[in-house]
Amino acid sequence: MELIFDTHAHYDDAAFQEDREEILSGLSEHGVGYVVDVSAALDGIPNVLALAQQYDFIYSAVGVHPTETYELETADIQKVEQYAIEPANKVVAVGEIGLDYHYPDTQKEKQKEWFAMQIDLAKRLQMPILVHSRDAAADTLDLIKAENARDAGGVLHCFSYEPEMAKIYTDMGFYIGIGGVVTFKNARKLKEVAAQMPMELMLLETDCPYLAPEPFRGRRNDSTLIKYVAETIASLRGMSAEEVIRITAENARRFYGLQKEVK
Ligand code: NI
């Protein structure tokens, strides 16, 4: 049985405060073999790193989410770099980073500055980027191209745009992260993406505690529910869920540079 690779989780989130230990120590019984825990705010990074240090199967991504950049100074990028280069932190990517224009108080210039700085950091560290992009399709693509983010490689996490946009990214060698949303009845565009995109560029993710798949929509998400995502993708593509889990886990190990650690 192939182990599930959850490529994007937030187990440091307060939603897991009560039972984090219990959930994490039970994941392997549910076939989950690997988790990458992803940072959002700069001052939350130590909590992410603590999990990677504590659990063999957890790796970390360090970076600042676009809506968490407003209070930061440019020089704070050095703190992200210091976290990233410490081997004990098991950092495998820079993320999540990107652009999010969803909220009325959006500071676009600040977001763009930090997106560009963190792409540059990823290129220097030779790590892939985990891209969060919401209501900002054109500017995200522009910056990805202008900063040559292709040199770092990356994934469009929780992909929410048109199938045509997915094709632009996969043609550049970027991966597409697919999670619980693909199981939602009204997720027509994402189902189309999941059905048509190159299988070798697909990653499975929870984004937990958010975005639990059907039939658990609205509840707290965790990595054991990824199998419902795999089942939906399998039926869209006419393959088995085991096959989806096996191929996406292989993709994730290649993406994060963890091939040597496969037992
Ligand atoms: Ni996330």
The whole-angstrom separation of Cα 47 and Cα 37 is: 10
The pLDDT of residue 260 = 58
219-237 pLDDT tens trace = 999 999 999 999 999 999 9
Separation of 15 CA from ligand 1 center, angstroms?
14
The pLDDT of residue 61 = 98
The pLDDT of residue 263 = 47
Strand order in the sheet with 4-9: 4-9, 32-38, 58-62, 91-100, 129-134, 154-156, 175-178, 202-204
Separation of 38 CA from ligand 1 center, angstroms?
7
Query: Using 50, 70 and 90 to split pLDDT, how confident is the model at 2?
Result: confident
Q: Is the pLDDT of residue 144 over 60?
A: yes
Calculate the dihedral angle through the C-alpha atoms of 102, 125, 44, 133, rounding to the nearest 10 degrees.
10
Query: Using 50, 70 and 90 to split pLDDT, how confident is the model at 147?
Result: very high
Query: What are the φ/ψ torsions at residue 79 (nearest 5 degrees)?
Result: -65, -40
Separation of 262 CA from ligand 1 center, angstroms?
25
| Closest CA relative to residue 215, chosen from 231, 228, 224 | 228
Separation of 47 CA from ligand 1 center, angstroms?
15
Query: Using 50, 70 and 90 to split pLDDT, how confident is the model at 259?
Result: confident
Q: Is the pLDDT of residue 262 over 50?
A: no
Mean pLDDT to the nearest integer, 134-151: 98
Q: Is the pLDDT of residue 184 over 70?
A: yes
In CATH, 4-256 is 3.50.50.100? no
Q: Do the Cβ atoms of 233 and 182 come closer than 8 Å?
A: yes
Separation of 39 CA from ligand 1 center, angstroms?
8
Mean pLDDT to the nearest integer, 234-243: 97
26-56 pLDDT tens trace = 999 999 999 999 999 999 999 999 999 999 9
Separation of 65 CA from ligand 1 center, angstroms?
9
Separation of 207 CA from ligand 1 center, angstroms?
5
Separation of 45 CA from ligand 1 center, angstroms?
13
HSE-CB for 68 with a 13 A CA cutoff:
18
| Closest CA relative to residue 125, chosen from 97, 101, 166 | 97
The whole-angstrom separation of Cα 123 and Cα 103 is: 29
Separation of 196 CA from ligand 1 center, angstroms?
24
Q: Is the pLDDT of residue 254 over 70?
A: yes
